[in-house]
Structure 1
Amino acid sequence: MGIADKAKNAAEDAIGKAKEVIGDKTDNKDLEAEGKGDQGKAGVKKVGENIKDTFK
């Protein structure tokens, strides 16, 4: 994966963390869950990148 893809995934993770914190502080469970979901997607993408990098 390219550097741009890794940066996008890192940004998605950071946005997810921010959504989770904001959702928690405002008692917005939907936003909190969305943030956790974003982090999960970013984590899966990161694992995929690592696997691809291993086989290069």
Structure 2
Amino acid sequence: MGLDDKIGNKGEGLGGKVKEGLGKASGNENMEAEGHKDQASSKLKDAGENVKDAFKRD
């Protein structure tokens, strides 16, 4: 399950980058902000997965 979550988080981060780029290209500040939010959410979830992995190793 951890690997699936990590892959999903990476996909969310990539989607956020795409959304940010589309927002910049089209001048849509809301879409750009959503892209930033998606990327931040992805990084936070990924950090949580890393913490869980650290405790599993001990």
CA distances 1:1-56 after superposition (whole Å, capped 9, x unpaired):
52111111000000000000110011000000000000000000011011111111
Aligned to 2:34: 34
Query: TM-score, normalised to structure 2's length?
Result: 0.91
Greater helix fraction, Structure 1 or Structure 2:
2
5+ residue gaps, structure 1, are none
5+ residue gaps, structure 2, are none
- Secondary structure at the aligned position of 1:55 is classed as helix
Runs of 4+ in 1 over 6 A off after TM superposition: none
CA RMSD in angstroms comes to 0.9
Aligned to 2:16: 16
Query: TM-score, normalised to structure 1's length?
Result: 0.95
Q: Distance in 1 between matches of 2:16 and 2:49?
A: 19
State the AA in 2 paired with 1:19. Answer: K
Percent identical among aligned pairs is 46
